[in-house]
Structure 1
Amino acid sequence: MPQPPAWPIDIRSIALRATLYILFIGAITQGTYLEAVYMPEVRFSEYGFSEPMQTLILASCSIMLLYIRHALKVFPTVALLLFAFITASLIREQDYFLDTFVARHTWKILVAMVIIPSLAWVWVKRRHFLQEFVHYSNTCAFGLFAAGFLTTYVFSRLYGRQIFWRAILEDEYVRVFKDAAEEVVELLGYSLILFATIELLLLARRIHRARQLEAHS
């Protein structure tokens, strides 16, 4: 596999992306505030702001990863593994609707249909995967993804434990406190994963352009 170009990122591009990421986090934070104020009956539920936004973020990441893999053809096995993981998370976020309007445990079947063939293909192409991962693990995209993963799948689960919030609120415990804590932290984690996917897309575009220049030189 050709080496990815070690091009320095222009400082203006870094500043612009950092600004956009900050504005995005500010926007979703304001969205959760408005959800709490103006959507009291459905706040932090499947019909509020936070959970649909999580779905939108995960769907956007899945589409970008498909583009990276099939259109740009950069890091194909890494992109496939990330796609399987994020798409499985997207399906898991729809468990309420699938259980209610389709059948119980439907989401588990759909997740298995995504995860099993993807893992099997990555295993078949494991040498390519290891070569790609050496490059991917040294990128900003990997760092952001790791941060998003730890925030969403580790910290939010521990921080959102009912026993934790009962210990803090004691007799004043209301479930909405727990739900708000868990969903808002999840939303932050998914946002970091979104930023990681955007960074991977931008890197993949640079690599794709470099390949095109090499092919025409």
Structure 2
Amino acid sequence: MPDDSPPAHPWPIGFRATCVRATLYVLLIAALAQGAYYEALHFHEIRFSEQGFIELAQSALLATASALLLYTRQVLRTMPNVSLLMFAFVFSSLIREQDYWLDLWVAEHTWKVLVTLVIVPILYWVIRHRERFAEEFAGYANSFSFGLFAAGVLTTYVFSRLYGRSAFWEAVLQERYLRTFKDAAEETVELLGYALIMIAVIELALLARRWHSARRD
């Protein structure tokens, strides 16, 4: 059986590579923020809706992250259990983002069925291989990727939900309250969270490539 767990001492990241990646990530975040601005400025009829830039960008980020996780598991064959569980989480989020279209084109609550079909077998697999998962996670937990992934999850699934509460914006705006403010706040913070998750997955794929090369050497 091949050793697909992380090595004890993964290759470090060079300073130049760190600067290049940091610059690209800054440009990505800036592009997303600018896209949200243009949506609010020029697309009044669809802004902050399922057809707007923000929703489409969220789906694109999650789809890209899902594909990279499959690449890490199936091609690089590194941390198969950790990457599989992360894929279940990210891909389920992608399905959840399509709830409007699934309800419209298929049937109401279709997304819940699809998410269950993704989550249940993968959880069963990970629990069945829990010892291997624990070994893999011990190496991943100390990485930059894991910190970013945790930050993305907290931003998307905790902070954005609380920050986007109607009660909060009603308290801030009082008689000037409009639902648009709540939607804009929640969706843009959620977009940032998904961007952090995708960056974390990119870092995971790059880390997995270094581990893959280390194993071959």
Task: Normalising by structure 1, report the TM-score.
Answer: 0.97
Residue 72 of structure 1 aligns to a residue whose secondary structure is coil
Match of 1:108? Answer: 112
**Contact preservation (8 Å) 2:160, 2:190:** yes
Equivalent AA in structure 2 for residue 71 of structure 1: V
Equivalent AA in structure 2 for residue 75 of structure 1: M
Match of 1:63? Answer: 67
Residue 183 of structure 1: how far off its partner (Å): 0.3
Equivalent residues, number: 213
Give yes or no for the alignment of 1:184 onto 2:188. yes
Within the candidate set 152, 169, 172, 2:173 is matched to 169
Whose relative contact order is higher, 1 or 2, with alpha carbons under 8 Å and at least 6 apart?
2
Q: CA–CA distance in 2 between the matches of 1:172 and 1:56?
A: 34
Residues 17-42 of structure 1, C-alpha deviations (whole Å, 9 max, x = no match): 11100011110000000000111011
Q: Percent identity?
A: 58
- Superposed, 1:25-40 pairs within 5 Å as 25-40=29-44
- Superposed, 1:118-133 pairs within 5 Å as 118-133=122-137
Structure 1's consecutive aligned runs of 4 or more residues displaced over 6 angstroms after TM superposition are none
Equivalent AA in structure 2 for residue 59 of structure 1: A
Coordinate RMSD, CA, aligned: 0.8
Residue 6 of structure 1: how far off its partner (Å): 2.6
Task: Normalising by structure 2, report the TM-score.
Answer: 0.97
**Contact preservation (8 Å) 2:10, 2:211:** no
Give yes or no for the alignment of 1:11 onto 2:15. yes
